[in-house]
Structure 1
Amino acid sequence: MRHGGGRHATIGTVLDIGYALSGRFPDPPQTDYRTVGVRALRYDLFCGDVYLADTRTDHELATAWGWVPVLDFAWALCDIAEQLDADPLGSRASRPQRATLDFTESTELLRFSRRFGHVEITADWRPEGEPSLTVTHTELRREARDFLHDLLADLFDMHEELRDNPVVWQLEARFPRV
């Protein structure tokens, strides 16, 4: 999969998050990116494929459907990182904290399970026995936010007027880079 947006892993980083926009599902040409609402931003625009990869092992969880709303994926990943940190004990919590990211147009799920400071990520569409990705929660939060901001920068390059959308301003403020 082509790495579009997101950053390439740095020394010590295991998680790489990337995307490729699809030519099969182009955004409507009449879209006013300055005023488009939350629903359209999350579910109707910027479709393609996404991946999460372990840069040390080259193990990857990737979609190959072409219709995943990439901005929604980035947004949901940031939400999940926060949700997995809801336990007041944080990395000391022995009880697993779980979250799922569902792909709206299918029954497929990415499953996240945090125990202590580590998050195990599995994908329903992967064959039984395929290894999961395991990253630290700190790394998941940092990389998810970096991916969101890098994706937005790429989208701003393609659609300059998206910078003026109040929904995007709120999203950037809610999930600043860490």
Structure 2
Amino acid sequence: MIDLGYSLSRRYPDPPQTDYRQADVRTLRYDLFCGDVYLADVSTDRELSTSWGWVPVLDFAWALCDVVEQLDRDPLGSRAATTQTAELDLTESAERVHFRRRFGWVEVGADWQPREEPPLNLNHTALRREARDFLHDLVADLTDLHEGLGDNPAIWDLLGRFPRV
């Protein structure tokens, strides 16, 4: 089982004059909603998490959904023996999360992880489902916190591009 979560930072609040209804994609992805994120494998009680307070959590959720789809480009899907790789760059940082898919399993590691610690090993189908659920739950939370965000066309496009599965 996979658990994805986040916390918003109090050190990096969104600018009070922000019009969430009109915010463009770049602003939504990189300038707002900073905090920390984690990805956990509940069955092994291991997680990959940040603790810096400045990770744009909406961008992380958005990019994670993109990465999971990128890992599924082989027409053979879970039967593909070739390794498919992808990286998720954390905004404003040199840190990256690395993904390697072979058959139906995805190894997830990060630059900041100790070298002796093995990567998380997650089921691709479960990762896709959890990434999309995380995105939708995050947007619902942010919409509750920020008036007008739910009326932003970029948010509509994002949720339409990655519907819950």
2:3 counterpart SS class? strand
2:37 counterpart SS class? strand
Equivalences, count: 165
- Structure 2 segments unaligned to the other structure (5+ residues): none
Match of 1:57 in 2: 44
Deviations 1:95-128 (A, max 9, x none): 1000000112111110000000000000110111
Q: Which of 18, 25, 38 is residue 38 of structure 1 equivalent to?
A: 25
Match of 1:27 in 2: 14
Alignment of 1:176 onto 2:163: yes
Match of 1:127 in 2: 114
Alignment of 1:77 onto 2:46: no
- Structure 1 segments unaligned to the other structure (5+ residues): 1-13
Cα drift, residue 57 of structure 1: 1.9
Distance 1:137 1:15 in 2: 11
Deviations 1:2-31 (A, max 9, x none): xxxxxxxxxxxx110000000000000000
TM-score, scaled to structure 1 = 0.91
Match of 1:149 in 2: 136
Match of 1:159 in 2: 146
Distance 2:33 2:8 in 1: 7
Q: Which of 58, 71, 74 is residue 87 of structure 1 equivalent to?
A: 74
Cα drift, residue 56 of structure 1: 1.6
1:64 counterpart SS class? coil
Distance 1:116 1:160 in 2: 43
1:110 counterpart SS class? strand
Match of 1:5 in 2: none
Q: Give the fraction of aligned pairs with identical amino acids, expressed as a percent.
A: 70
1:25 counterpart SS class? coil
1:65 counterpart SS class? coil
TM-score, scaled to structure 2 = 0.98
What amino acid sits opposite 1:48 in the alignment?
Answer: G
2:85 counterpart SS class? strand
Distance 1:160 1:35 in 2: 11
Alignment of 1:97 onto 2:84: yes
What amino acid sits opposite 2:99 in the alignment?
Answer: F
1:128 counterpart SS class? coil
Alignment of 1:106 onto 2:93: yes
What is the root-mean-square deviation in Å for CA atoms of aligned residues?
A: 0.6
2:148 counterpart SS class? helix
Distance 1:52 1:61 in 2: 5
Distance 1:101 1:150 in 2: 20
